[in-house]
Amino acid sequence: MVSLSKESEELIREIQELKEKKKAVILAHNYQRPEIFQVADIQGDSLELSRAAAKTKAEIIVFCGVRFMAETASILSSEKKILLPEKESGCPLADYINVEQVRAMRKKYPEATIVCYVNSSADVKAESDICCTSANAVKVVNSLNGAKQVLLIPDKHLAQYVAKNTDKQMILWEGNCPAHHQLQREEVLKMKAEYPEAKFMAHPECSPEILELADCVTSTSGMLRYANSSSAKEFIVGTEEGMAYVLQTACPEKKFYSFANTMICHDMKKITLQSVKDALVKMQYLVEINEDIRKPAMNCLSRMMNIV
């Protein structure tokens, strides 16, 4: 359990009151600070949270995550007020590609189907053919009957992982998530030597050299399922360090080791209890998607949801 200061306990009490008064719900991504989970109604990965946002009857949603996640929630539920507590919580991976670059790639590879990872901006989704998540990327690409070439944007490592699991020709884009990309093979080998009984779970945003050391390559929701069902008692967590806390809470009888000094998403950690309270008090920062973008972006997401 997370230990809380008096100040944090007071903020949690105030947030709970505000939430009730405004009939809001708080969604928190798995990489958030542990104290944020104390006020969250729903916790999960980006797509689980966006689906939850679409289902809830609440009119106000405070999305504790990064901008592309709040945008996805807004695409799926445009009638609701989606608040991102920190204006500057972006995603360096999503920033690797913009609309002009997608259009240029379409011209360069007119035969290719463009698959965009959910970690992309709303306008990039609007220019793409179909969306994918880390959990379903292989399934989405393999479902593209007739497509010989596939451009998967913006994560090169996810595309490399898919390339190993499909016979379609994958075109790569030079983007990466800094939190996953910077994990070094030596760090993994050191951790494995320290905990020889532990299973190593790795997120497909890690580089191929890291994935070849993994016992299981999977998304954050897949890690929860794997840890729950495995007979192993110890796990090395190859994704953002916050996930180890989520896993430890879900499986208290098992042990989880994270790369706490390397695998940190600084954008996720920008959100604090104070910024969540401010979001509810000041109704900030509203994330809205222009209808011209929302409709094609919705089509891109819907095509994926029809597959999985």
Applying CB under 6 A, the residues found at the interface with ligand SF4 are: 31, 66, 91-93, 119, 177, 179, 240, 265, 267-268
Closest CA to 105 of 171, 177, 176: 171
| CB closer to ligand SF4, 77 vs 121 | 121
Smallest separation, CB 65 to ligand SF4 (Å): 8
**Distances, alpha carbon 241 to alpha carbons 155, 172, 202, 261, 308, in Å:** 20, 27, 12, 8, 28
Give the three-state DSSP class for 224: helix
Closest CA to 273 of 59, 64, 44, 66: 64
| CB closer to ligand SF4, 58 vs 275 | 275
Smallest separation, CB 44 to ligand SF4 (Å): 14
Contact 131, 304 (CB under 8 A): yes
Smallest separation, CB 265 to ligand SF4 (Å): 3
Counting Cα atoms < 13 Å in the Cβ hemisphere of 87 gives 6
Smallest separation, CB 61 to ligand SF4 (Å): 18
Distance from CA of residue 267 to its chain's centroid? 12
Q: Determine whether 249 is exposed, middle or buried from the number of CB atoms within 10 Å of its CB (0-12, 13-18, 19+).
A: middle
| CB closer to ligand SF4, 58 vs 161 | 161
Closest CA to 57 of 80, 74, 41: 80
Partners of 28 in the beta sheet? 43, 64
Partners of 255 in the beta sheet? 234
Contact 175, 154 (CB under 8 A): yes
Smallest separation, CB 3 to ligand SF4 (Å): 25
80 Rama class: left (phi>0) / alpha (psi -120 to 50) / beta: beta
| CB closer to ligand SF4, 85 vs 147 | 85
| CB closer to ligand SF4, 93 vs 130 | 93
| CB closer to ligand SF4, 34 vs 92 | 92
Smallest separation, CB 155 to ligand SF4 (Å): 8
Smallest separation, CB 260 to ligand SF4 (Å): 14
Contact 202, 181 (CB under 8 A): no
| CB closer to ligand SF4, 12 vs 115 | 115
